[in-house]
Amino acid sequence: MTPAAPPPMTPMMTAMMKTRPLDLSLDAEQDAARIWFESLRDRICAAFEAIEREAGSDAAFDYVAWDRQDPSGTPGGGGVRGVMKGRVFEKVGVNVSTVGGTFEGEFGKTIHGAGDDPRFVATGISLVAHMANPHVPAVHMNTRFLTTTKRWFGGGADLNPPLPVAGDTADFHAVLQAACDAHDPAHYPRFKAWADEYFYIPHRQVHRGVGGIFYDHLEGAFDANFAFTRAVGEAFLDVYPRIVRRRMHDAFTPEHLAEQRRWRGRYAEFNLVYDRGTLFGLKTGGNIDAILMSLPPVAEWD
């Protein structure tokens, strides 16, 4: 007998999958950041699913909640991994997590403010999209709030086209620059240069993509830095869906796909060898599938 198909997910069931009961005690700033990251996740996922509908696809995000156990043996928070595989988005992952506890061993000494006291709380959103059409650029975005003996925001967004288009690159940077300039005119040149330096593959001597912004250890005035971090999320949500819609119907050839897969190999090399977020997730007992969702579904090495 063929087993009955599971009942469809209702909006209430989906909402429950996207909410993780917390076993951490958060203060007002940490909780405000958590709420924002989760709300940004909801809006981004809705925007990406709308693009799939425009392409005639019924693809939707699947959400998997996970729990983290701190090395001390106590509950250490957790998160929700959301993944969609569709007609436009070959593979896109949007993760939110709120974790805390103590850093193990020497790793804590590498984290801002944790050298003498290994206790921490971290909350954030991380997104990577790999696209079916090689003319549509892949993208990475994350923002986070960390508390050790210090408190700071970090994150950014960067565009990663296998087949770069100057107009798309210019639009992406213009929106990010506008978000930066509204808060501090020094932000964009500084954070753009930081992205160019960070998203570089030394053993290939090439950049991972066409850049964006990257910032870290943004501490001091919580309200101002939180407002800037929200502006980065809003800028991403503004510009990236527009670029996807602009390119998602472009014709492509087998040669274009081959170039996309070679480029994805370099993307994987960066994320596995150099990316600090990958290392942080692995060193703090994060969910392996959520950490490695940044890897492309198909890649090639010649």
Catalogue the active-site residues: 140
Give the DSSP letter of residue 105. G
Phi/psi at 200 (nearest 5 deg)?
-130, 140
Token reading at 47: 């925007």
Cβ atoms within 10 A of the Cβ of 217, count? 11
Query: Which residue has tokens 């994060």?
Result: 286
Q: What stretches of the chain adopt beta strand conformation (E)? A: 62-69, 75-84, 89-102, 119-131, 138-147, 151-160, 200-201, 206-207, 211-218
Is residue 119 exposed (0-12), middle (13-18) or buried (19+ Cβ within 10 Å)?
A: middle
Cβ atoms within 10 A of the Cβ of 80, count? 22
- CA of 45: how far to CAs of 96, 124, 162, 171, in Å? 12, 15, 23, 22
Are 76 and 285 in contact by the 8 Å Cβ rule? The answer is yes
Residue 246 to residue 240: CA distance in whole angstroms:
10
